[in-house]
Amino acid sequence: MMGSSADDTRTSLLPEHLYELVFVSDPALSPDGRRGIYVRTDIVRRAGDAPPRYRHRLRLVEPDAGSDVALTQGEADRAPRWSPTGHAIAFLAPERAEATKPGAVAQLWVIALGGGEARRLTSFAAGVLHHRWSAAGDTVLVTTRGEWRDDVAADGTGRVVTERLHRGDGIGWVSSAPVELWRVEATDGARTHLWDFDRPPGTLEPTPDGEHVVYLAAERAEESDMGRTRLWSRPLRDGAARDLLGRSGSFTDPSVSPDGRHVALFDPQDPEDWGSPTSLTVVDLESGAYRTLTHDVAASPSVAGDSRIGAHPVAPRWEGARLVVALNRAGRSAIARVDLEGDVTEHMVPGAMHDRVVTAFDARAGRILALIETPTSTGQLHTIDADGSERRLTSWNDALLRAHAGGIPAPARTFDTADGQALTYWRLDPVRPRDDGAMVVQVHGGPYTNYGYGFVFEFHLLASAGYRVIYGNPRGGSSFGAEFARAIKGRYGTVDADDVLAIVDHAVGSVVDDRGATTPSVHLTGGSYGGFMTNWLVAHTDRFRSAVTQRSICNWLSFYGTSDIGPFFTELEQGWAPWDDAEALWDRSPLKYVANVSTPTLVIHAEADHRCPIEQAEQWFTALKRLGRAPTRLLRFPDEGHELSRSGRPDRRVQRLEAIIGWFEEHA
């Protein structure tokens, strides 16, 4: 079924090439901006009888000297943080003897850059959650959990649950022990317990004077249930926490100014709209007065990708009286500087170089260290200097992607729907197209994410198998403004479904017009919200040759009570709780219409997914089997959560990719 290309004899990119990928994460600049550190992750394919696993190590770069060298030789080293003097790095890693064992917890380590081995400073039973250097650089603030063990797992007795949110995706059973704040001496590891948090916090931000710590945490369980936190400042010695804004919200990424007067953070443009664009907000630490600096543009990027293992920090970075952020517009994200009056200056690059995504960055001393992807390149480190000059520092995976034929990006296309909405989509063309010209349409998750100029290994695999890959942004996604995002509130399966079909029709028409080809067959897949949309579409149209639904939603009524985000997500997105309007939720559930499905459908789900629980897949698969109108199969992955496709165990990721391609081949 494959065509031929006389001028490209490269071998195909295959699922097993995932094992050869290198992943870059957590870039951090030294205080003087002259050196950088990052986490390099590779895959250990087999070690005796152990399954494949990820290995994380720190590397040190000196952009001006052109050097890039290994700093650590551990198995799970992560979260590097420069000391204020730039002479040492604090990071998290398990004890060396425990590093590859299941359940190993991370401890705090410090390595001096002048030479010598890394030193472990802590031995907390629950490990270290977060860490930050003090302004003086002589101590490190860390959080850990109090003593807690899962007695039920140990002896099989009944579990008493008092919190609604008692299981979390990627976490499992949530510890009931309090989160504790400790001060650890950087020289000898001597530690002092400071206090316990009332509710679990996120990252810590010490003030420059060393007197306070700023953090995000809910005030009560009801706020946690709704995915909301508050912005707090608390003295490190005696004193109560102060609620700076006097309200809760979907806040993220606080960053304290160098003078200690302000904290910047991301805050949804509409505090009551979980999916509205993230605005950059600055808060006065003394008065709590705040100012929103950006409007109707996402101030933190959410462009989808599947080759990002590890942390990808995009918190606002202070540069004197300005802030550095990565703005997300129309599938791109670019570095921008924003002053305290809200004036924005974007770092512009010429021509097609603008078609890229900043997925992480740090900024110090006038220099930016950014992790940048393109549709044909995994995340690579770049420096951007104060004069606008830019250098690429790394080239991981370039040789692999040159050696094997992946996809060829076609120019983005924008068109207007019948009701006047502008939509943008992309096409990844195969080097050797299938004789039938078949396409695969991908629907992104979220729904408040977006497709664009990021790198997606899965798309290149499909293109290498001969498929044209179509991926776009129906209404409800991010990076196209608030009105575009809120268009599907309470309306899932309406204009968004129409938009996906409009993208399909336009893409099919463009291929026929461009190449004079016959009308190609079209396959469909998506995960999370994209899985919901896959279910919805195959229940409402026979447009697709086959479908793969992944980590999907099919029943809003059961999702409400089983997902870790069920109550707040259902109420915010659909508008009702089951007892408010069960009929309305059922009307928006693909399961109501499952008897219409005739499209061959593969169902892929992870058994430990607490975001979109496995019961959703079980309901959909059971209905398809019972009805018998559509060929179907269920692929279940043990011990994996919602992030299977992006960070699951490597061999399971490979099996998933093989299954997707195999299903489309089986139903060509």
Residue with tokens 């299977």, as numbered in its chain? 644
* Position 79, amino acid: A
Per 3-state DSSP, the chain is made up of helix, strand and coil in percentages (nearest 5) of 20, 35, 45
- pLDDT at residue 353, rounded to an integer: 66
- pLDDT at residue 1, rounded to an integer: 44
- Alpha helices, H only, 190-328: 221-225
Residue 642 falls in the annotated catalytic set: yes
What is the sign, positive or negative, of the torsion defined by CA atoms of 359, 363, 367, 369?
negative
Q: What is the CA radius of gyration of the chain?
A: 25
Task: Locate the domains of the chain by residue range.
Answer: 22-149, 526-668
- pLDDT at residue 162, rounded to an integer: 87
Cβ-contact 564, 167 below 8 angstroms: yes
Cβ-contact 128, 144 below 8 angstroms: yes
Residue 610 falls in the annotated catalytic set: no
Compute the mean pLDDT over every residue in the chain, rounded to the nearest whole number.
95
Cβ-contact 428, 409 below 8 angstroms: yes
Q: Where is 412: in which H helix or E strand?
A: strand 407-416
How many angstroms separate the CA atoms of 526 and 544, rounded?
13
Cβ-contact 27, 15 below 8 angstroms: no
Residue with tokens 């992944």, as numbered in its chain? 550
How many angstroms separate the CA atoms of 299 and 282, rounded?
13
Judge if the upstream peptide bond of residue 84 is cis by omega within 30 degrees of 0. no
- pLDDT at residue 184, rounded to an integer: 99
What is the sign, positive or negative, of the torsion defined by CA atoms of 11, 12, 16, 21?
positive
- pLDDT at residue 386, rounded to an integer: 92
Give the bridge partners for 35, in sequence order: none
Looking at the domain that runs over 22-149, which CATH code has it been given? 2.120.10.30
The values of phi and psi at residue 222, to 5°, are -60, -35
CA-CA distances (angstroms) from residue 27 to 224, 359, 446?
Answer: 30, 10, 25
Of 578, 575, 494, whose CA–CA distance to 537 is shortest? Answer: 494
Give the bridge partners for 525, in sequence order: 442, 548
- pLDDT at residue 175, rounded to an integer: 86
- pLDDT at residue 515, rounded to an integer: 60
How many angstroms separate the CA atoms of 438 and 465, rounded?
10
Active-site position among 130, 382, 460, 642: 642
The values of phi and psi at residue 635, to 5°, are -110, 110
Cβ-contact 79, 204 below 8 angstroms: no
End-to-end CA distance of the chain: 9
Active-site position among 528, 546, 645, 647: 528
Give the bridge partners for 108, in sequence order: 92
Which is the CATH superfamily of the domain at 526-668? Alpha/Beta hydrolase fold, catalytic domain (3.40.50.1820)
Cβ-contact 279, 267 below 8 angstroms: yes
- pLDDT at residue 160, rounded to an integer: 86
How many angstroms separate the CA atoms of 297 and 340, rounded?
17
- pLDDT at residue 4, rounded to an integer: 47
pLDDT lower than 50: segments of the chain: 1, 3-4
Both tokens assigned to 8: 């490209």
- pLDDT at residue 275, rounded to an integer: 82
The values of phi and psi at residue 443, to 5°, are -115, 125
How many angstroms separate the CA atoms of 74 and 13, rounded?
30
The values of phi and psi at residue 23, to 5°, are -115, 135
Give the bridge partners for 60, in sequence order: 37, 69
- pLDDT at residue 149, rounded to an integer: 67
- pLDDT at residue 519, rounded to an integer: 84
- pLDDT at residue 516, rounded to an integer: 59
Both tokens assigned to 394: 């790394």
How many angstroms separate the CA atoms of 486 and 205, rounded?
32
